[in-house]
Structure 1
Amino acid sequence: MTSTARLNLPYIAASQAQKEVTHNEALARIDALAHLVILDRDLSAPPAANEGDCYLVATGGSGDWAGKDGRIASYADGAWAFYAPALGMLAYVADEGTLSVYTASGWKDYGALLSSVATVSRSVSGAESRIGTVEEELSLSGASVSSSIVIPDRSIVFGVSCRTTEAVTGVWQYHVGIAGEAEKFGGYLGIAEGSTNAGVIGPQAFYADTPILITANGDTGSFTGGKVRVVIHYFLPIVPQE
């Protein structure tokens, strides 16, 4: 054998001259494929690249990528090198923030597991199951404050948690809810910095984008200061794409 079985790393032959050439080729291949980072997998033409950049060549490769569809393209020493993916290879797709594994039927995504909205499963037709954990810090003033983040239309909500990140002034407590249900995710909550609440509910479906509402509670009925971070915890189904 002249190369390894899985990554095709070249062996140094007995009594070989210029062994450094073969050795350096193997190092370059390992550097490209170990802990693989794919910057983009939707390009068919080579972009301007920096040393060490890797891409997955999309269908219809052109220019320097012609005939290299599905190969890993690595830019090194001012030129492109191409490698076939190996079974079980794990790659981080940087522009999508997702992990993908090479299987017998091609690349399979395993979601952006530490992102605020993560795909945890996907069908062959493109249907997805997503888990969302999105947050916003709100500065409080007046009788109530509405979030710019929303409970997404057609999502199933498990709860809204919150934390007082800056002591709330002007009132005794505050409520976290939605329009028409001021205490849905917690009522009479602490105004001291560091106070928290896990406002869980029986999972409930929402049929319109719905912002979170923080409402003042006290004799003045109005916030004069303070900040609260709210976090929406939800499940979102994505319909088949074909």
Structure 2
Amino acid sequence: MSETSQFNLPLIQSSQAQKHVTVNEALARIDALAQLRLRSVNTNSPPATPTQGDAFAVPVGGIAEWSGMDGTIAIYANGGWVNVLPKSGWRAWVEDSSCYHTYLGNQWRAEQPYQVINGAAFTPAVFHIDHTITAGADNTTADIIPSHSVISAVTARVITPIITDGASSWSMGVAGASGRYGSQYGLALNSYAIGLTGQPQAYYADTPLLIEPETGAFVSGEIRFAVHAMIPVPPDAV
């Protein structure tokens, strides 16, 4: 046995000369892998001026000094690149995407709360827009609810006071379901809305929100909306 099974750390052999070289290489790998931080999982060529300890997940098509390292972690240590094959379940912070990834199914995947090895997942997400109110009896926002999503709530915050012609409050819903996400919301700056669905609501097409004054008409104002969704992700292609 010349390497450890987990991190592929080189082992000192019997009667080996210059043992410090092997020890230093092993320490460099531990330093990089024990709290794994990857610069990227999408870059296929090494940086021109790497820094000691830099680590990259090499995708298919590694070139230059990464040629032949596809699917491994390339670590810059002691003036050169060494590579380690990751194991299922390894976790790393990926700097260029600012999120944790897990190694599953022979690839690095951005972490999802519920995900299996073949890529299927149920992903929480929040979609947001700022809507400037136009004068009229009602307003329709841009499409904010994504197709094939399950919505648990829609929230909102008044970021410019709402001016109306005769209304003291407003409601929030969608076409065909006026007020689905609540009514009697305030007009003043920082008034907020929390519109919960009685049970999760599925949408099968990109959908805008519909807002309406309780009476009269809108004149002006601005509202910040957030849609709280769960997005199903199918298994990977085969």
> TM-score band, normalised by the shorter chain?
0.7 to 0.9
How many matched pairs? Answer: 232
The residue type paired with residue 71 of structure 1 is T
Quickly say closer, same or farther: Cα 1:77–1:146, change in 2 above 3 A.
farther
The whole-number CA distance in structure 1 between the counterparts of 2:212 and 2:48 is 52
* Cα distance change, pair 97–176 in 1 and its aligned pair in 2 (3 A): same
Deviation at 1:42, TM superposition (A): 3.8
Distance 1:22 1:214, change over 3 A: same
Task: Name 2:65's counterpart in structure 1.
Answer: 64
Aligned equivalent of 2:144, options 147, 150, 157: 150
Please give the secondary structure, in 1, of the residue aligned with 2:219. Answer: coil
* 1:178 matched residue in structure 2: 174
- The TM-score with structure 2 as length reference comes to 0.74
Match of 1:231 among 212, 220, 226: 226
For the pair 1:204 / 2:198, whether they are aligned, the reply is no
Deviations 1:159-202 (A, max 9, x none): 21222334323341122112343312112211233333321222
Q: Which residue of 2 aligns with 1:74?
A: 75
Question: What does residue 39 of structure 2 align with?
Answer: 39
Q: For residues 147 and 54 of structure 1, what CA distance do their matches in structure 2 show?
A: 44
Answer whether contact 2:153 2:194 (CA < 8 A) is retained. Answer: yes
Q: Which moved more, 1:23-32 or 1:134-143?
A: 23-32
1:90 alignment counterpart: 91
User: What secondary structure is seen at the aligned counterpart in 2 of 1:129?
Assistant: strand
Q: Deviations over 1:129-150 (max 9, x none)?
A: 2222222233333234433352
1:214 and 2:216 matched: no
What secondary structure does 2:30 align onto?
helix
* Structure 2: unaligned runs, 5 residues or longer: none
Aligned residue in 1 for 2:185: 189
Classify the secondary structure of the residue corresponding to 1:176. Answer: strand
2:132 is equivalent to residue 132 of structure 1: no
Q: From the superposition, tell whether residues 17 and 67 of structure 1 become closer, same or farther in structure 2 (CA, over 3 Å).
A: closer
- 1:230 and 1:204 map into 2 onto residues whose CA distance is 17
Higher mean C-alpha deviation, range 170-179 or range 74-83: 74-83
Question: Structure 2 counterpart of 1:66, which letter?
Answer: S
Segment of structure 1 superposing worse, 189-198 or 41-50: 41-50
Q: Is the 8 A contact 1:87 1:102 kept in 2?
A: yes
CA-to-partner distance for each residue in 1:27-68, whole Å, 9 max, x for gaps?
533342233222333444435454243211223433211232
SS in 1 for 2:70: coil
Q: Which runs of 5+ in 1 are unaligned?
A: 114-119
- Report the Cα offset of residue 72 of structure 1: 0.9
Match of 1:53?
Answer: 54
**Aligned AA (2:100):** L
CA distance in 2 between counterparts of 1:66 and 1:137 reads 47
In the TM superposition, residue 70 of structure 1 has moved relative to its aligned partner by 2.4
TM, length-normalised to structure 1: 0.73
Q: Percent identity?
A: 34
Q: CA deviation at 1:232?
A: 0.9
